[in-house]
Structure formats: C-alpha cells, structure tokens
Amino acid sequence: MKKKITIVGLGYIGLPTAAIFAKSGMEVLGYDVNKKVIEALNKGKILIEEPGLEDLVKEVVEGGNLRGINIIEESDVFILAVPTPLNKDKTADLSYVRSATESIVDKIRPGNIVVLESTSPPGSTLEVASILGKSGYKIGEEIFVAHSPERVLPGRIVKEIVENDRIIGGINKESAELVKEVYSVFVKGEIFTTDSKTAEMCKLMENTFRDVNIALANELAILCENMEINAWDVIQLANRHPRVNIHQPGPGVGGHCIAVDPWFVIENQPEGRLIRQARQINDGMPERVLNRINSLIDDENAKITILGLTYKANVDDTRESPIIKLVELLQERTTYELSLHDPHVDRVNFKHKEILVENIDQAVENSQLIVLAVNHDMFNKLDFDKIGKLMNKKQIFDTRNFLDRNQLEKLDFNLITLGRN
Ligand code: SAJ
C-alpha cells in the first residue's frame, strides 16, 4: 500500500532515507527548518556531498514521489531525523528532537506511526512518546512509536541504508512490528525488533565499541613511542591472531558519531569509567601530535604544512575533525606559519579559509614540516620529489602510517611516524 511519509530533518540521514522511501514507491514529504535545503530539494538538488545521493534525489523529485515542504502536513508515518548534538557539559542536546516532536503533535491521527531515527540516549523514544501524548490519543494503541537508528557509513550511505541490518525498538511490540513493516519496503538486510531502550543502547554501543578500540590503539601508539617499539608492526603481527583486531592509531577521533555517542551512554552514569577514559585518550591525540610537531621544529617562525583536514579519509566533512582541533592548538600555542591543504574541502564554508592553500606547491613551499593528517587516497599520488625540492627541510610527520617509507627515504626525506620513535 502506498503510504504518505513525512521526514523531519533532511541531513546526512533524513535525506537519503526520504529518497529511498520515495524510490520504493512511497509518497514522501521532506521538511527541514533550513529553507535552502527545501528550495534545493524541489529542484532535485542537494547541499551535501554523498556519492550517488544527488542522482537518486533528482530521479525521485522529478518522478513526483519526493517533495520538500515548508509546513508539516498530515501523514501516515512521521520520521524524525534531526540532529542530537553534544552539549558543552557532554550531555545530549535533545532540543531538536523535542521541537520536531512538538511540530507533529497537532498533525498526528489514529493509526499513525512515529519513528525516531536520531541517535539518542536511552529513554529518548519514551520521551518522544510522552510528548506525543499531548495529542490526546492513546500512545501505543492509537499512535505507534519506535526508534530505528541508522548504521550507515558516510561515503557509502546510499548502499548501506538498503543493505545493512536494522534494529527497530518499539515502545511496545505492536509499534515495533508496524515500523518493521514500514522499513521492509526497502531494507534488504535483516530487521530485528526489540524495545526502544535496547535499540537506543545498541546504536550507542556500536560506536562506543569502535571508540574504545581506537583508544586502545592510540594508547598502544603512545606506549610504543615511549618504549621504542613500532606500534604498526605490533598491530600487524598481533592481528594475525584469529580473535584479535587492534584498530588504527591516529591524530584523534572525529565525526558526529564515534566521538559523540559514547558520551550519551554515560551521561548520567559515573560507573562508565572505561568509556570515559577512552574518550579522553582519543580527545588527547591532537595535543599529542602538537607536542611531537614541537619536538621536530626548532624555529618558532617555521612554516608547517598540514595535509588533510577532514575527520577521516576521502570525505569532505571537517565538522568535529581532530585536525581542526590540531590547527587551533597550533594557532593558540605556537607562532608557526601554518599552511593547510585539502582538495576535498570546500573553501566557502571552511572555518580557517585564510590559511587554506589550494595549490600544493604553494602549500609546501619553504615549509619545514609536512604533517600528513588525513590519509586521503590522493595524497599517495603526490609528487614528493618536487615537493622535497620546494621545502626548506625534507621532513614529514605521518600520523596515519600511510606514506611509502621506501619511496620517501630514497628522496632523502626524514619520515617520522606516529606510534614509532
Ligand atoms: N578512526 C581511527 N582509527 C580507526 C578507525 C577510525 O582513528 O581504526 C577514526 C577516523 O579517522 C575518524 C573516526 O575514527 O576520525 C570515525 O571514523 P569511522 O570511519 O570509524 O566512523 P564514522 O564516524 O564515519 O561512522 C560511524 C560508523 N560506525 C561504526 O563503524 C561502528 C557508522 O556505521 C555509523 O552509522 C556512524 O558512525 C553513525 O552515524 O553513527
């Protein structure tokens, strides 16, 4: 049956979700507080970078199954996909979830389904349900509510949104089953149903698992530097064990998921000690990188070039990037001349555009140190012979163990690697 679905919040998750439902034949309405997003959408355009998404959006908008709206209408299903940022005190800011819920209270009718997609602390879906209670309808009997967290990887969203398994946590069994039916129209992975708090905790724990493992890898890197061991050899060799998978150390953990979600788990839980420690270790990495840079530079006015600014490789997203934190630490605590280079980064919206240098030759000219901060594929294809000739000192600090040591040493570079002294 063709359902009318309204998606509130058209970001990295809401927009692909809207487009996929539309592609599956549903009538989809997209709402966002940002009018520019709606304007672009109705022209079949998107304002974010995500492979395959623009084509999909264009197709379903032109086909008439997806349209942007400025006023919320009655629907069969409402999906809330608004941001849940982290407050300064490391608690979840649920204000967008609350206001999105308030915005549909007057529109819901008996038989409606409301889904919270936003990653949220355990108990949030119950709070949504309680706000919806203001409608006067019996929640769980007339209005069905569940949490359905996404698990897609930026850069692969269009594929993973369909193929990944999904967890749906209802405020009661009936809600979970009804929401499962809704998502079944496009999800090819398995769909598991549970209660809403379990589903919320699952989503948070998936990212916490990764954060804690990365912290372990970062601690290993620090200890290996102290003990003159090559952490990368340790990881490679230890991972030959069939049940060991040590993660990759690096200059920190970014993105709006892995660096954020663990805090949601422990916000009212002093006993969450390991998770807290892991966050602190990962958040301390930019400062660790700064100290290593200082140990390599003896001229306080030296030029330093940072290659890569995004939160991870091959994406355009610099929000919550540990490299931005590193840049700001360098600006606050040193007098080096900084030159930033990242072909993925769009100058217009970039916070430190005054020191962003588009031309690689200019970025490295007279530089005393290149810091390889993000392992974008394109950085392996740079002409290091030419780069070396432009630099004042042939020195590279590779924070990802990414560059080819043989090649660089042949070109007389001094290659320093994080996790190895
Ligand atoms: N990183 C390391 N070492 C590693 C792996 C990652 O330092 O071994 C760093 C990256 O450089 C980056 C950060 O961690 O700064 C996070 O990158 P990521 O690729 O691990 O994850 P995200 O944030 O892009 O997406 C994650 C995914 N979660 C998991 O893999 C468990 C994705 O599936 C989730 O949907 C997404 O979070 C989300 O929205 O929650």
Pocket residue to mutate for ligand 1, from 166, 312, 401, most atoms within 8 A of Cβ: 312
Pocket residue to mutate for ligand 1, from 82, 152, 205, 207, most atoms within 8 A of Cβ: 207
Give the containing element (helix H, strand E) for 179.
helix 173-183
Q: Whose CA is nearest to atom 29 of ligand 1?
A: 207
pLDDT of residue 288: 98
Taking the C-alpha atoms of residue 74 and residue 87, their distance in angstroms, rounded to an integer, is 32
How far does the centroid of ligand 1 lie from the alpha carbon of residue 131, in Å? 32
Do 47 and 37 form a contact (C-beta atoms < 8 A)?
A: yes
Name the band, by pLDDT with cuts 50, 70 and 90, for residue 169.
very high
Q: Whose CA is nearest to atom 25 of ligand 1?
A: 153
**Amino acid letter for position 411:** L
Q: DSSP letters of 68-85?
A: EESS----SEEEE----P
Q: Which atom of ligand 1 is nearest to the CA of 12?
A: 39
User: What is the mean pLDDT of the segment spanning 304-332?
Assistant: 95
pLDDT of residue 349: 86
Q: Which atom of ligand 1 is nearest to the CA of 312?
A: 11
DSSP annotation of 103: H
pLDDT of residue 394: 98
Alpha-helical segments (H) within 248-404: 261-266, 273-283, 285-296, 322-333, 360-364, 384-390
Backbone torsion region of residue 9, taken as left when φ is above 0, otherwise alpha when ψ lies between -120 and 50, otherwise beta: left
Q: Which atom of ligand 1 is nearest to the CA of 311?
A: 15
pLDDT at 120 > cutoff 80 = yes
pLDDT at 1 > cutoff 80 = no
Name the band, by pLDDT with cuts 50, 70 and 90, for residue 409.
very high
Q: What is the mean pLDDT of the chain?
A: 97
Do 45 and 8 form a contact (C-beta atoms < 8 A)?
A: no
pLDDT at 319 > cutoff 90 = no
Indicate if 203 belongs to the active site: yes
This prediction's pTM: 0.94
Pocket residue to mutate for ligand 1, from 86, 153, 244, most atoms within 8 A of Cβ: 153
Please report how the helices 53-62 and 35-42 are oriented relative to each other, as an axis angle in degrees rounded to 10.
70
Question: What does the pLDDT look like over 352-385, one tens digit per residue?
Answer: 999 999 999 999 999 999 999 999 999 999 999 9
pLDDT of residue 155: 86
Q: Whose CA is nearest to atom 17 of ligand 1?
A: 312
Question: What does the pLDDT look like over 254-286, one tens digit per residue?
Answer: 998 999 999 999 999 999 999 999 999 999 999
Task: Tell me which residues have their CB closer than 6 angstroms to ligand 1.
Answer: 119, 150-154, 206-207, 210, 214, 247-248, 250, 253-255, 257-258, 311-312
Active-site position among 203, 303, 312, 325: 203
Name the band, by pLDDT with cuts 50, 70 and 90, for residue 316.
confident
User: What is the mean pLDDT of the segment spanning 307-311?
Assistant: 97
Q: Which CATH architecture has domain 285-417?
A: 3-Layer(aba) Sandwich (3.40)
Active-site position among 23, 180, 224, 257: 257
Q: Which atom of ligand 1 is nearest to the CA of 254?
A: 15
pLDDT of residue 266: 97
How far does the centroid of ligand 1 lie from the alpha carbon of residue 415, in Å? 27
Q: Which CATH class is domain 4-194?
A: alpha beta
Do 418 and 402 form a contact (C-beta atoms < 8 A)?
A: no
Question: What does the pLDDT look like over 47-89, one tens digit per residue?
Answer: 988 899 999 999 999 999 999 999 999 999 999 999 999 999 9
Do 286 and 326 form a contact (C-beta atoms < 8 A)?
A: yes
As annotated, the residues of the chain forming the CATH 3.40.50.720 domain(s) are 4-194, 285-417
Sheet strands (E) in 23-81: 27-31, 66-69, 77-80
pLDDT at 239 > cutoff 90 = yes
- Give the phi and the psi of residue 155 in degrees, each rounded to 5: 100, -25
Do 55 and 61 form a contact (C-beta atoms < 8 A)?
A: no
Taking the C-alpha atoms of residue 19 and residue 94, their distance in angstroms, rounded to an integer, is 25
Indicate if 257 belongs to the active site: yes
Taking the C-alpha atoms of residue 88 and residue 197, their distance in angstroms, rounded to an integer, is 24
How far does the centroid of ligand 1 lie from the alpha carbon of residue 258, in Å? 6
User: What is the mean pLDDT of the segment spanning 123-144?
Assistant: 98
pLDDT of residue 81: 98
Q: Which atom of ligand 1 is nearest to the CA of 119?
A: 40
pLDDT of residue 48: 85
Pocket residue to mutate for ligand 1, from 159, 210, 212, 310, most atoms within 8 A of Cβ: 210
